[in-house]
Amino acid sequence: MTSAESIELVTGFYSQAFNDGEPEKAAARALGASYIQHNPGAPDGAAAFVGYVTYMRSQFPQLQLEIRRALADGDIVVTHSHFRRTPEDRGLAVADFWRLEDGKIVEHWDVIQEVPAEAKNTNSMF
């Protein structure tokens, strides 16, 4: 896959799952037979991913994920996103690292930080 194709696969997967509320379709299309999760609060596997998204969308029906940037290097795609549970929520700044193999997502790491009400500088988190 080219870098552009890898980015399109990951961003399409992420948006379809969270924004379109179609985690099953997103997982079936983009996840590999094995999906390794490095977030210590999440189990491995596509079913766990689908369950998490389904739960989050049931708790926060207006949930929105805005992917602000994405880049690819070899088999790794990195996304930087603004994740809001509600429209009023300041949200979370999220950096996700996705490893691809044979055109499918097979591994995931993330770093998540609350967007604060006040910062010690005037720089945006995005």
Which residue segment(s) compose the domain that 73 sits in?
Answer: 3-114
Number of structural domains the chain divides into: 1
Residue written as token pair 């029906």: 61
Residue 120 is assigned to a structural domain of this protein:
no
Per-residue pLDDT tens digits for 80-101: 999 999 999 999 999 999 999 9
- In this prediction, residue 10 has a pLDDT band, given cuts at 50, 70 and 90, of very high
Residue 46 is assigned to a structural domain of this protein:
yes
Neighbours of 60 (CB within 10 A): 13
Q: Is residue 41 pLDDT above 90, yes or no?
A: no
Over residues 20-26, mean pLDDT: 97
Residue 123 is assigned to a structural domain of this protein:
no
Residue 125 is assigned to a structural domain of this protein:
no
Residue 117's pLDDT is: 93
CATH code for the domain in which residue 70 is found: 3.10.450.50
As a whole number, the mean pLDDT across the chain is: 97
Residue 60 is assigned to a structural domain of this protein:
yes
pTM for this prediction = 0.94
Under 8 Å between Cβ of 97 and 26 = no
